[in-house]
Structure 1
Amino acid sequence: MVKLAKDVMSSPVLTVGPDTPLTDLNRMFVEDELHGAPVVGESGRMVGFVSTADLLRAVEEEHEQPSAARSYFHETLEFSGPDWASAPADFQDRLSRLCTSDVMQTTVFTVGEDATVAEVATLL
């Protein structure tokens, strides 16, 4: 039996807006156990995708000494990422001013729910 995208995709899909602060995005990722989310503009169209990796890159880029950024990470069996709550106030404030649109990927691929998993895999 051929598996289709609708057989493996998550539903409903939790989306974020391009103006979502990174602190809110991280909280959502942790609370909902997500590793990424589509970014949807005011028109309801997908304008990008943001992942945990994008958040981690933002932490690394915003910190002057990348090796010290590791102290801001929180690791559990479910999640490994920035721990905004324990970050110093100035660092947390800087990141709270960064939005999803600052770190999201704008080159995205979409497929219909009837695409085969093999077809989807060729796009990754």
Structure 2
Amino acid sequence: MTKKEGGAADAKIIKRGAPPKMTGGQRKQVFLDDASVEEAKRLGKGEVSAGIRIALKHTAQSAYNPPGYRAAYWSDGQSSVCLTAEEHSELPEHELLIEAVRQVRDTGLKIGNGRIMIGDYKAK
């Protein structure tokens, strides 16, 4: 029997099967938009999972600190409690203060010494 050109013997060998296992690894399914998939592939040199791991490692190393938002909050100089949500950040100052007082009343918060202020609030 003669071998035909282009037959199985000439086929390029493609590696198949499960990827190597990693210590502490878990298989997870994620839903990403097309741009995120392309960026993950770019970071991971073609491998989406590797790109996601690289992005997460970079985020952790850069001590990611989410931005704050304009809020009304109570502070006594040692501790603070945010009284308004991010969705209220665009309210005029007097409406923001009204919302803060409403939260104090509705939650029964005892604010004691200290004062209600408006400014950039970051969750800790």
Name the structure, 1 or 2, with higher relative contact order (CA <8 Å, separation 6+).
Answer: 1
TM-score normalised by the chain length of structure 2: 0.23
Which structure would you say has the larger Rg? 2
More helix by share: 1
TM-score normalised by the chain length of structure 1: 0.23
